[in-house]
Amino acid sequence: MNLSEHASKALSQALVRSGMRSTRQREQVFQVLLNRRDHPTADEVYARTRMEMPTISLATVYNCLETLVECGLVRQVNWEREPSRYCPNLAPHAHFHCVETGRVYDIDLPSDIMKSLTGVLPEGFDAETVELSFRGKGKCPPSG
Amino acid sequence: MNLSEHASKALSQALVRSGMRSTRQREQVFQVLLNRRDHPTADEVYARTRMEMPTISLATVYNCLETLVECGLVRQVNWEREPSRYCPNLAPHAHFHCVETGRVYDIDLPSDIMKSLTGVLPEGFDAETVELSFRGKGKCPPSG
DNA sequence: TTGATTTTTGGAATCATTCTAAAAAGATGG
DNA sequence: CCATCTTTTTAGAATGATTCCAAAAATCAA
């Protein structure tokens, strides 16, 4: 499965906008993230990317992920001291970490909630980003 | 400056409740956290603790911090991939990370906001903990 | 005090991530 | 297409916060 016309354009545009080049590796890594939106770690992305591109190196996967985050196409999700996870969902959303399965779910954040969140900041604090994450028992542990 | 009567009681009670022992090291580390509520890292706690107890080891500081977190007296605050920070403020609150100074501020969270937060979770998700953090330019960078 | 259990300790080990420096690939201007 | 300049990739080494280890010390209960 290849990057859709649309995703491919979005990628090269975002790269060029940030003064970076479009490469096979970056396309492939982006593709992997779009294929399965299950918040993989860098290691998992590495494994999946190698299926299509067996010679890619782990360092490159880290580089590509960093690049994608920098040019705004991907969000890096950190939780406790666990390895970073990567998520191509750019809509404002929170994350739910299931303590039983380790799975991470995207939780939609209505814009009125977003507003009330930044409202808690006292005078003089100017938030660029807001991170909201939950930890607990999620949906149905056994299945997908 | 010694642990106040009250704090000392709270500590040993919390420890006993969790089946753990009260030790000089644990008291001292707790004390350090209470003295300056500026969200120190383990290294910083180590440095401060050694001023009163020069022979304590870094491993012990990590152990003590973990113990304090486990028995519910201290909150471990993680942000991006930076070293963990420790905070003895148990009231529900968010954290603001200043990108300019690296300083971390506690932000009070009104209970109605807390409620609306857990309200965003779909059926079947049961949150044990909620983490909210902001990143941006905070108050007056030079002083305080 | 005695013995059982927990804690402390210094140093080694772990492990995600970053760095390094050389090779490869992509862009640019003729 | 060629020469050149810049960016990217790559393998492996280095980093750094944290955890693990096994022995010594401290605490607890009887």
CB–CB of A107 and B116 under 8 A?
A: no
For a pLDDT cut of 90, what percent of chain B falls above it?
83
> How is residue B116 written in tokens?
């609306």
Tell me: pLDDT of A122 over 70: yes
Q: What is the pLDDT of residues A17-49, one digit of tens each?
A: 999 999 999 999 999 999 999 999 999 999 999
Residues A138, B15: Cα–Cα separation, whole Å: 30
Q: What is the pLDDT of residues B37-53, one digit of tens each?
A: 999 999 999 999 999 99
At residue B5, the pLDDT reads 79
DSSP B3-63: PPHHHHHHHHHHHHHTT----HHHHHHHHHHHH--S--BHHHHHHHHHHH-TT--HHHHHH
Q: Which of residues 21-60 of B touch strand D (CB under 7 A)?
A: 21-24, 41-43, 58-59
Mean pLDDT of chain A: 92
Residues B136, A141: Cα–Cα separation, whole Å: 36
Residue B51 makes CB contacts below 8 A (sequence gap 6+) with none
At residue B138, the pLDDT reads 86
Q: What is the CA radius of gyration of chain A?
A: 17
Q: Separation of CA B63 and C1' C15 in angstroms?
A: 20
The DSSP output letter for A135 is E
Instruction: Count residue pairs from A and B with Cβ separation < 8 A.
Output: 108
B chain contacts of residue A42, beta-carbon cutoff 8 Å: none
CB A97 within 8 A of CB A135: yes
Q: State whether the beta carbon of B68 lies below 7 angstroms from any atom of strand C.
A: no
CB A56 within 8 A of CB A62: no
Q: What is the pLDDT of residues A44-92, one digit of tens each?
A: 999 999 999 999 999 999 999 999 999 999 999 999 999 999 999 899 9
Nucleotides of chain C touched by protein CB (<7 A): 6-12, 15-20, 25-27
pLDDT tier for residue B143 given thresholds of 50, 70 and 90? very low
> How is residue B138 written in tokens?
């905070």
Q: State whether the beta carbon of A59 lies below 7 angstroms from any atom of strand D.
A: yes
In chain A, which residue's Cα lies nearest the Cα of B104?
A125
At residue A1, the pLDDT reads 61
The DSSP output letter for B115 is H
Residues 59-98 of B with CB under 8 A from A: 78-81, 84, 94, 96
Mean pLDDT of chain B: 93
